[in-house]
Structure 1
Amino acid sequence: MNFDSGAFFTPRAVTSLLVRIAAGEGEQDLPVYDPWVRGGEMLREVGNLLGPESPVRGTSPSSEALQLAAMNLALHGQHADLRLSSARPWMEPPPEFRAGAVVMNPPFNRRAARPDTGPDRDWLFGPPPVHNDNYAWLQYAVTCLSPEGRAAVLMPHQASSSSDEREHAIRREMVEQGAVEAIVALPARLFPGTDTTVIAWFLSRPTETPKQVLLVDASTMVATQEGTVILSPDADTEIAQLFRARQDLSEGEVRRLPGGALAISVGVQRLRWNDYSLDPADYVDHVEPDDDSEPVSAISAFARLEQLHGEILQEGVYARPVRPQPAGRSLGALPDGWLRVPLGEVCEIQAGPAVSRLGPDERTPDGSVPIVMPRHLRQGEIVANDIDKATHQTAERLARFQLLPGDILCIRAGAMSQPTLVNQEHEGWLFGANLHRLRIRAPERVDARYLKRFLNLPSTLEWLHRRSRATVIPTINSRDLSHLIVTVPPLTEQQEIESALTLLDRQIAVHEEYVRAAHEARSLLTDELIKGSVIV
């Protein structure tokens, strides 16, 4: 398939943020609508949040994108009404339905080869310019909403403060008519292959009365995963919770979020003074520290660097025994006592229960047994935020799908993230349909931590990629997985390998923390030197 820039997938944490806010408290009997379906990731997230039976609709001018979206959704037991549409749906008759929520990542800055559409009454907030469709998409999203619905739309950062005459006029009307609820500035480089920085707009039907607007600068809520920039874990949850509580914020009140993010509730008068800019940076740049918090200074930042330097030296002492030596064997030959065996001999491989056995009907807020889904596997750990639960009776009926400490969870289809080790706290939990559980047959022969290391080897991940069935969405079944050849040293050597690598992991962690602290110290020092607050 050949996709243009309008077809790049939306990162998972971003779709989660948009869907949580737009659909999380919407009208559940009305469909959630994505007017520019890419790989179906927006509508798939609706299924994660509201259940696979939730009504969803999607349109796209690309039949290939619709095919991909249909396969993605079907793989997870989710049905959707998917249809071909124009690349400029606002030029077509309005949709015959109203959406409880609209979630969308439309193509940015596209020039629409369309005639000017005439008087302002053709548009909710005024005719957009012909040089790009950004503000056409924003208005189309609002047009599709039910009276109580909410839209979440990704836009390029510059759209929030564009000086184009028509875009400025539309933005002014959106603010004055109370259609803008919140704006969230996201970190840079979230989309691989482009430096475009994005902002999420959260909109509602116009009320003719201006509202306070929640502006969130989440540009610092960033992490990396295998060299890729991602939204930091729990950022979607933190921002969504703040959005839900926005009515409790007084005008001008600032809230701090993890990772240095800032949010402020801005009234219409201040928006007017700022010429209707909706860029959060224009409002939080000069926020003072909390009265009860100690401001970070260059002096304290350098003290932190000295502390981390000491930790680096100490970790170096711990890791000093880790010095690889030649094994003295020919390439490919194994030491005495080492084996190469299929994974199926090492582990019992159990696929998760079908959706028909552990679907939305078996999940309840009153349940006592958490259900681990693929979205909960993050960077090799189980992150149990927003987790569904089953009753104790359901867990007993599905006892073969319960977890024990030392089990390893792997994703069966889609983005195959790092295999995750189950800890003591997860004992008795259930695991969902799109996961494999690996349970070591002979713990006296194979250490679970060593096996997890083996499964994360680049060569192992490459093998899994090659063996994934040749479908649009990579999928590996239990039988294929069982054929993976595992290198198994004696148990004592497995434990020595794990111990050595753990020491190096600790060194990496403290070095990474040192680099982050050094960047912060340099920034603070630059600012305070230029202000004359410190000297060197």
Structure 2
Amino acid sequence: MNQQASALVTAADISRLAGVTRATVSNWRRRHPDFPAPAGGTDASPTYDVDAVRAWLSARGQLPEDTPADELRTALRTHPGDGEPALHLLPALLAAAWLDWKEREALPELRDDALLRWARSATADEADDVPGIEGPTYNADAVGPLRALVRCVAADGAEAAMDVLAERLLEDTGGTGTYRTPHPLADLMARLLTDSTGAFPVSVLDPACGTGSLLAAAASAGATALRGQDILVAQAAQAAVRLRLSTPEAVISVRTGDSLRSDAFKGLTTDAVLCNPPYGARDWGHEDLAYDQRWAYGVPPKGEPELAWVQHSLAHLAPGGRAVLLMPPAVAERTAGRRIRAQLVRDGALRAVVSLPQGAATPLHIGLHLWVLERPNPQAEAPGTVLLVDAAASENRDFDWAAIDDTVLSAWRHYRADRDGFTGTPGIAGAVPITDLLTEAVDLTPARHIRTASRQALRPALLARQASELYGQLHRAAQDLTDLSTEGDWPPADDRPLDWRTATIADLLRGGALSLLRTAPAGRRTRSGEPLPQPETDLGGRPTLTATDVVQNRPASGTTADLPTDAPLPLIQGSDVLLTETLRVGHSVVARVVEPDETGCFLGPHLLLFRPDQRRLDPWFLAGFLAAEQNVNAAATGTSIVRVDPRRLRVPLLPLAEQQRYGAAFRRLHELRTAAHRADQAAEDVTRLLSTGLTGGALLPHGHGSA
């Protein structure tokens, strides 16, 4: 590693460094002649000398104390232009992760020569497990990044350090178009692999694994042999490290290269395949692979790369093995692919197509499809139907993954248990005979086959009674909303918005005004695969409050399976303030004070718990300002996963009486938002049911038959 004299940082880096928005950095550049001049970059995207920026910020009191993650980012910035430093730190990250907490705490304090000796010795074996790395050498120039890395691992955990390395790797590989499969979607895809007895496949392959989210979901569901390949070295390396951090007991093999052109697992037969293939890549090797033996269902046209991935996945399955692929919806209807679709349906290889709501995964403006495929078993009778599920038909504004999971998995479970007797759900799911699909177009879009509800499936009397009950719920919810929305007179401030003196959470922690607690994700084990010692905390059957519970404002639904096994487990107390640590796509972070029935629950992963000294901080005041959009934006880090750095959040310094006035306002806004959500959900439920009843002939309009 060749270290340069000083790092270059962008405006975005400066905003993170100072804990302000990018707009504030732009204002500083315009209004302050002494702001450091650009040292590189372009006119549109200049870069600045980090030492000059730090000196400028420090002189104005705008430089918060560095977190270990910040130190690691700065250390990586001393090697601009390529991802080699971050890539070569991955074996050291794995080695540090296998240490117990006492050894991790001691590691950053080693002398330079001792730290280098540890790195060379500890990473000798780890490097073989990280694709794209051939024996990293750690010389004197590597001390700074190494020390920053082990300090970050000791303070924030290996996953947090991995996220910082991932940011740098994404920048250096120009990772446009590389996206992780969202965790809820990855979990849903994995659960579609479960067989009728509830058993999960032992071995799973992902031929376009990215950073490994689908393989991680398979491991969580029970797979013990995980194989992946990705064309980007940085992605494959991340996948290997993330999988080893989360499931070190599994057999893991991750390779680099183009799976279609140069299959690293050629000849491998696996139990299952999970894949989110690249979309619309016309240069996938059509000319070179025209006579490939994998095209058992037809040579994929140049404009149908997704059908090449479908057949690649089927070729790796054992007879009866299953694959789940995330596909763009056009694959179900494009003219060029109709012959291959017809053959997949005719041979029984395509078992189900599920349409998802918009926003389920990138690209967010398209409702993607899940294709469930099985390698035909020559000894078994070919199925006569294909399951089609329109999960987008039950979409609501809050994008309820629990409801989507229930819709999809319930339909798949009942269909698999009794294909011939499966009646489906009107307008949502149905078993469509293959003769109905083998038309000239071979259109497999679920909505075009099952949106029309079956008249025989509708029961008029039952629908009328359900409609009456839902109307009652809507009336009560609307009354609650009306009662809470009577106070609409909010006086303005003076001519300008108030400008408070603020303190960072890091400052308040040092001053003892509050404490910060969090829980690491579950599943951490030793390198040998043995579970780590159980904590001394008495589990006692307590529920776990999850991040999803906080977002949806529902009772604690988690279990001890959501918790780690090697650390004390925080218990929630009254007046604690909860903040979601990661940002969901299209949503804001959520902050609120715990409800009375949540006291005594375990704190789940991906939640931050602030415990204020109530003699100095009002809880609802704290919650309101912590979740402020401009506050969160200034404290957000990460690219593929956006995480809030709690120590950078700022809170106004106000007298307690003034805090309590703001706290009462924030609490009322929380109650108003909750009531609005209940009313919105009730209106959605009643209108959907009435629409189904009216269009299906089970319900009559008001006044029907009257004079």
Is 1:457 the counterpart of 2:628 in the alignment? Answer: yes
Q: Deviations over 1:348-391 (max 9, x none)?
A: 21232586878994799x99344556566544556626872679
Q: Who is 1:204 aligned against?
A: 374
Q: Who is 2:21 aligned against?
A: none
Q: Who is 1:219 aligned against?
A: 392
Q: For 1:514 and 1:430, locate their aligned partners in 2 and report how far apart those are by CA, in whole Å.
A: 31
1:66 aligned to which of 211, 236, 243: 236
The TM-score normalised by the length of structure 1 is 0.74
Change (3 A) 1:115 1:352: same
The TM-score normalised by the length of structure 2 is 0.59
Contact 2:255 2:264 in 1 (8 A): no
Is 1:285 the counterpart of 2:451 in the alignment? Answer: yes
Q: For 1:273 and 1:193, locate their aligned partners in 2 and report how far apart those are by CA, in whole Å.
A: 30
Q: Who is 2:95 aligned against?
A: none
Q: Who is 1:401 aligned against?
A: 570
Q: Which amino acid aligns with 2:277?
A: P
1:156 aligned to which of 313, 323, 328: 328
Q: Which amino acid aligns with 2:570?
A: F
Q: Deviations over 1:378-428 (max 9, x none)?
A: 44556626872679xx7xx96652333443444556869434654444444
Q: For 2:432 and 2:312, locate their aligned partners in 1 and report how far apart those are by CA, in whole Å.
A: 25
Q: Which amino acid aligns with 2:417?
A: D
2:206 aligned to which of 23, 26, 34: 34
Is 1:124 the counterpart of 2:266 in the alignment? Answer: no
Q: Who is 1:264 aligned against?
A: 430
Choose 283-292 or 273-282, whichever is displaced more. 273-282
2:489 aligned to which of 303, 307, 323: 323
Q: Who is 2:403 aligned against?
A: 234
- Greater strand fraction, Structure 1 or Structure 2: 1
1:497 aligned to which of 665, 685, 688: 665
Per the TM alignment, residue 138 of structure 1 is displaced from its structure 2 partner at its CA by: 0.6
Q: Deviations over 1:453-509 (max 9, x none)?
A: 3322112212321xx4x787555667x35x743555436425521343145426744
Change (3 A) 1:47 1:310: closer
Q: Which amino acid aligns with 1:57?
A: R
SS of the residue 2:411 aligns to = helix
Contact 1:339 1:487 in 2 (8 A): yes
Q: For 2:354 and 2:560, locate their aligned partners in 1 and report how far apart those are by CA, in whole Å.
A: 24
Q: Which amino acid aligns with 2:450?
A: V
Contact 1:223 1:232 in 2 (8 A): no
Q: Who is 1:347 aligned against?
A: 514
Q: For 1:28 and 1:363, locate their aligned partners in 2 and report how far apart those are by CA, in whole Å.
A: 28
Per the TM alignment, residue 152 of structure 1 is displaced from its structure 2 partner at its CA by: 0.7
Q: For 2:240 and 2:395, locate their aligned partners in 1 and report how far apart those are by CA, in whole Å.
A: 31
Q: For 1:20 and 1:363, locate their aligned partners in 2 and report how far apart those are by CA, in whole Å.
A: 29
Is 1:141 the counterpart of 2:313 in the alignment? Answer: yes
Q: Which amino acid aligns with 1:55?
A: A
Per the TM alignment, residue 204 of structure 1 is displaced from its structure 2 partner at its CA by: 1.5
Change (3 A) 1:179 1:192: closer
Q: Which amino acid aligns with 2:296?
A: L
State percent identity of aligned pairs. 19
Per the TM alignment, residue 519 of structure 1 is displaced from its structure 2 partner at its CA by: 8.6
Q: For 1:231 and 1:388, locate their aligned partners in 2 and report how far apart those are by CA, in whole Å.
A: 22
Q: For 2:357 and 2:297, locate their aligned partners in 1 and report how far apart those are by CA, in whole Å.
A: 29
Q: For 1:141 and 1:55, locate their aligned partners in 2 and report how far apart those are by CA, in whole Å.
A: 17
Contact 2:387 2:412 in 1 (8 A): yes
Contact 2:556 2:601 in 1 (8 A): no
Q: For 2:640 and 2:481, locate their aligned partners in 1 and report how far apart those are by CA, in whole Å.
A: 45
Q: Give me the CA root mean square deviation.
A: 4.8
Per the TM alignment, residue 535 of structure 1 is displaced from its structure 2 partner at its CA by: 11
Change (3 A) 1:231 1:142: farther
Q: Which amino acid aligns with 1:56?
A: L
Contact 2:260 2:285 in 1 (8 A): no
Q: Which amino acid aligns with 2:210?
A: R
Contact 2:546 2:558 in 1 (8 A): no
Q: For 1:142 and 1:183, locate their aligned partners in 2 and report how far apart those are by CA, in whole Å.
A: 16
Q: Who is 1:85 aligned against?
A: 257
Gaps of at least 5 residues in structure 1 are none
Contact 1:343 1:486 in 2 (8 A): no
Q: For 2:668 and 2:521, locate their aligned partners in 1 and report how far apart those are by CA, in whole Å.
A: 40
SS of the residue 1:234 aligns to = helix
Q: For 1:434 and 1:316, locate their aligned partners in 2 and report how far apart those are by CA, in whole Å.
A: 34
Per the TM alignment, residue 144 of structure 1 is displaced from its structure 2 partner at its CA by: 1.8
Is 1:8 the counterpart of 2:184 in the alignment? Answer: no
Q: For 1:334 and 1:117, locate their aligned partners in 2 and report how far apart those are by CA, in whole Å.
A: 65
Change (3 A) 1:36 1:351: same
